A and B are shown apart, each in its own frame.
Chain A
């Protein structure tokens, strides 16, 4: 007997099954109570990250325009740090 034909018959039989009825609205709402509301998501940190990134790029470009190299810029940043952070 062809195994695939047998499986196909079994699948056709299985498709006649009705899934169980569920009533989950209360459960779902109870689970959602402990979550933030589904309002439009905003990303507050983007407003901080975007100007900070722009400022960093500007600082690097300014450094390059004064003839500095990457290592000069990194060294300058590192020398600004207090000794206990190194």
Chain B
């Protein structure tokens, strides 16, 4: 009940600040940023694990949200609307990285050297870094859908909302991405076995 009240209060405060911001009140936008920056930070940490790039992405998400604030109608919570923008900014970052060939991936031999018991004792940060680099082996669309579905634990409907794709598209993309990743890991396993 207490959590529900605080969510309701947060939504009300967001709406008030959005209206103030639409009338040119910069301090209102500061309050919105302060209220949602940790949520956006968590989203962006999936897109870049470099601290400087991560901060830039968080900033870009808020700047893009500000530029599109006139399109926010209040039908859904501001946090959901913001998450969609943040996902778009992150995805664009991956596409840019791909064009510039600046993606660091994990050598697959390294992945095969890790034994299953090691994973259980592995620090969470190290595990996250490894997952990030493994998924970076895939094209951005496949990487995005697997990150949202499996790493963030979103269902098909939520993933569709975040990506702007249809639910059938999310299902097809997930299936394709899993197939690609399985093939990649299998191929590397065979090569390591030879």
Q: Are A39 and B23 in touch, CB under 8 angstroms?
A: yes
Q: Are B51 and A32 in touch, CB under 8 angstroms?
A: no
Q: Are A17 and B124 in touch, CB under 8 angstroms?
A: yes
- Cβ–Cβ < 8 Å partners of A5 in chain B: 116
Q: Are B37 and A24 in touch, CB under 8 angstroms?
A: yes
Q: Are A13 and B127 in touch, CB under 8 angstroms?
A: yes
Q: Does B134 contact A (CB under 8 A)?
A: yes
CA distance A23 to B34 in the complex (A): 7
Q: Are A7 and B38 in touch, CB under 8 angstroms?
A: no
Nearest-neighbor residue (CB-CB) of B31 within chain A? A25
- Cβ–Cβ < 8 Å partners of B13 in chain A: none
Q: Which of B50-97 contact A (CB under 8 A)?
A: 51, 54-55, 58-59, 62-63, 66-67, 69-70
- Cβ–Cβ < 8 Å partners of B42 in chain A: 19
CA distance A5 to B55 in the complex (A): 33
CA distance A35 to B21 in the complex (A): 14
CA distance A19 to B101 in the complex (A): 26
Q: Are A20 and B59 in touch, CB under 8 angstroms?
A: no
Q: Does A46 contact B (CB under 8 A)?
A: no
Q: Are B62 and A24 in touch, CB under 8 angstroms?
A: yes
Q: Are B127 and A28 in touch, CB under 8 angstroms?
A: no
Interface string of A1-43 (1 = CB under 8 A from B): 1011111111101111111111111011101100101111100
Q: Does B157 contact A (CB under 8 A)?
A: no
Q: Are B55 and A22 in touch, CB under 8 angstroms?
A: yes
Q: Are B22 and A25 in touch, CB under 8 angstroms?
A: no
CA distance A3 to B76 in the complex (A): 39
Q: Are B21 and A38 in touch, CB under 8 angstroms?
A: yes
B107 to chain A, nearest CB (A): 15
B19 to chain A, nearest CB (A): 11
Report A's interface with B, CB cutoff 8 A.
1, 3-11, 13-25, 27-29, 31-32, 35, 37-41
- What 5 additional pairs, Cβ within 8 angstroms, besides A3-B182, A29-B30? A6-B114, A6-B119, A9-B119, A13-B122, A39-B70
Which 9 pairs of residues, A with B, have the shortest CB-CB distance?
A13-B127, A14-B128, A16-B124, A19-B45, A17-B124, A3-B185, A19-B42, A14-B127, A17-B128
